[in-house]
Structure formats: structure tokens, C-alpha cells
Amino acid sequence: MRSAAGRARLLTQRVVAFAALMAGAALLFGLFAGRDDGTETEVAPEERGYYLTDARLIELGVDGRPRVVVRARSIEQQLVDDSVQLNHLELDYTTKRDGAWHVTADRGRLASNQTSMQLAGNVRVAGSPEPAGGRAIIATDVLDYDTKAGVVQTASPVAIQFGTHQLEGRGLRVALNDGTLRLESNVNGKFSP
């Protein structure tokens, strides 16, 4: 048997070891979990809007048929300015007056008020403006669409093809309501019979 002094010493050693173990555990927890000493060390996460992948949005016309169909690999709402970013998008637009149009672009941005849309990167617009007419193709790198005024425009180089006819220029303005298309400068064309 141990003496009372030996038992007291053993008990003291165990208490000290237990206290050291608890202090070490508290220190490790503080290092791994972070301490709250009144200073803010974490950065608050950004507020995020909605985010869609492989999305398809459809706007119906008054007749109940699809008027506008948008497909995009990703769509993300930007809460800073409430705009919407679209990536790898395709847009199909159909009306009786303007025919069927297919638009593709690498990127797009829809303003928060939804009155303007900017397309960028390999922008291509293809369609038939007249039911009996030929197919028209417009290719550029940047295109702005004012949905309220019905105006499509760019200051970038543009290539236009109507059937076998080809036009190139810098800058384009299309007034959809008037049915007019105007190339701004450096216009060159090739017309085949």
C-alpha cells in the first residue's frame, strides 16, 4: 500500500496532467475553430442571387405559342446591380411580322430594368425576315439590343449575308419597328446574281 503522501502526490500529478490536457485541447480548439476576441477576422460571404444551369426560359405570345425561347448553360443574377449574366446562350425569337430568328453568343447581360441586353463573343443572328425571302445572317463580336426602342446596334465590325449577297462594315443599326438596317462605315459588298 502507498502512504498518504504518495497518494496525494499521485493525485496531484493526475490533476495537473488533466488540467494540462484540457488547456491543450482548448488551445487546439481555439486555433482550428477560430477565436472570438472582439476582432472580426472572417470576411462575410457575398450575397448571391439566383443561379441556373442548363436553363431554358420561354415567353409566350398572346396566341399561347412560344414567342421567345432562351437557352443558356448558366444564368446568374448579380445582386450588386440586379442585372442577369448569361453564358453560352441561344435565343429563338418568332413573330408573324419579323419571322423566326436564332441568336447565339458566348455571353450576355440583361440590365435590371430589362430594357437592354448586351451580347458579346461570337454573336450570330440568323433568320428569315420575309416568309418567302432568303435567310439573313449577321455576325459580329458585340451587339446591344434596346428592347424598349426596338433597336439593335454595334460599333464593331459586322458581316451580313443575304442568300448569296455579302456585306461587311463597321457599325450596325437595325430599327426593328421600321424594318431598316444601316451599316455605319467601311462598307464593302459582294452581290452575286
pLDDT at 46: 57
Report how far residue 101's alpha carbon sits from residue 125's, in angstroms, rounded to the nearest whole number: 7
Could you please report the per-residue DSSP string of 132-145? TS--EEEEEEEEEE
Strand order in the sheet with 99-110: 51-60, 66-78, 83-95, 99-110, 116-127, 136-146, 151-162, 165-175, 180-190
Residue 129: the pLDDT is 61
Contact between residue 169 and residue 181 where contact means Cβ atoms under 8 Å apart:
no
In this prediction, residue 24 carries a pLDDT of: 55
Longest dimension (CA), the chain: 119
Let me know if 170 is exposed, middle or buried by CB neighbors in 10 A (0-12, 13-18, 19+): middle
pLDDT recorded at residue 60: 84
Q: How far is CA 107 from CA 71, 129, 156, in A?
A: 12, 25, 16
pLDDT, one tens digit per residue, over 38-93 is 555 454 455 668 888 999 988 888 888 888 888 999 999 888 888 889 999 998 88
Taking the model in full, what pTM does it have? Answer: 0.67
Spatial distance between the Cα atoms of 75 and 54, rounded to a whole number of angstroms: 8
Question: Scanning the structure block, which residue is given the C-alpha cell 425561347?
Answer: 69
C-alpha cell read off for 71: 437557352
Task: Check residue 66 and give its pLDDT.
Answer: 85
Nearest one of 190, 129, 119, 128 to 156, comparing CA atoms = 119
Q: What is the pLDDT of residue 43?
A: 45
Sign of CA dihedral 111, 180, 140, 52: positive
Low-confidence ranges of the chain (pLDDT < 70): 1-48, 95, 97-98, 129-134, 177
CB 150 within 8 A of CB 144: no
